[in-house]
Amino acid sequence: MRTVTKVILGIVGVAVLLIGWWLISPLFLEETVDEGLPPTSLDTTVEEGEAEEATEPPASEDDGAATEFTDLAGVFMDGEKNYETSGNIQTIRAEDGVYLRFEDFQTTNGPDLFVYLIQPGMETTEGISLGSLKGNTGNQNYLVPEDVELTQYSTVVIWCRAFDATFGTGELNPQ
């Protein structure tokens, strides 16, 4: 009977240590990401005869389609408690959609961080998840789903699922 109790206590002890490490280790570890810009249509190769046409501004009849997208930018601010976040946010049009780009980004590391888009006054979990935070420092890109209107979902939130805490926010405004 004593051997079974020792084994159970050992298993519980190891589980507590693993969970404790998962929760506390991000405070001491840094995850740095340095992604380049997403591939844009300007980066594609242009044939020699098309080079002049590519540099001309679009015709006035295409202006309606070009104005559908508004370039947005913002700055990250600290979250609740002692969570510090800084850096710049901007939208980038790319071949495969619109990206949010974080530049000079830095936030307090956490065990379970996610990037969300929310509307003003909305709870974070009701917003649109762009996935896990790739790293707590550095330049990174997040693809925005096609059906999301960034002028409505204008707040970017770095949210910790484990602690249900906001690590940082940024407001997107027209440039």
pLDDT digits (tens, 9 = 90+) for 107-118: 998 888 999 999
pLDDT confidence band for 169 (50 / 70 / 90):
very high
* pLDDT winner (highest mean) among 26-35, 45-54, 60-69, 162-171: 162-171
Query: What integer pLDDT is reported at residue 32 of this predicted model?
Result: 84
pLDDT confidence band for 64 (50 / 70 / 90):
very low
pLDDT confidence band for 47 (50 / 70 / 90):
very low
175/172 Cα distance (integer angstroms): 9
pTM of structure:
0.71
pLDDT confidence band for 22 (50 / 70 / 90):
low
Query: What integer pLDDT is reported at residue 63 of this predicted model?
Result: 42
Q: Is the pLDDT of residue 88 over 60?
A: yes
pLDDT confidence band for 67 (50 / 70 / 90):
very low
Q: Note the pLDDT tens digit of each residue in 118-157.
A: 998 899 999 999 999 999 999 999 999 999 999 899 999 9
Rounded mean pLDDT, 43-62? 42
Entry field: residues in the chain: 175
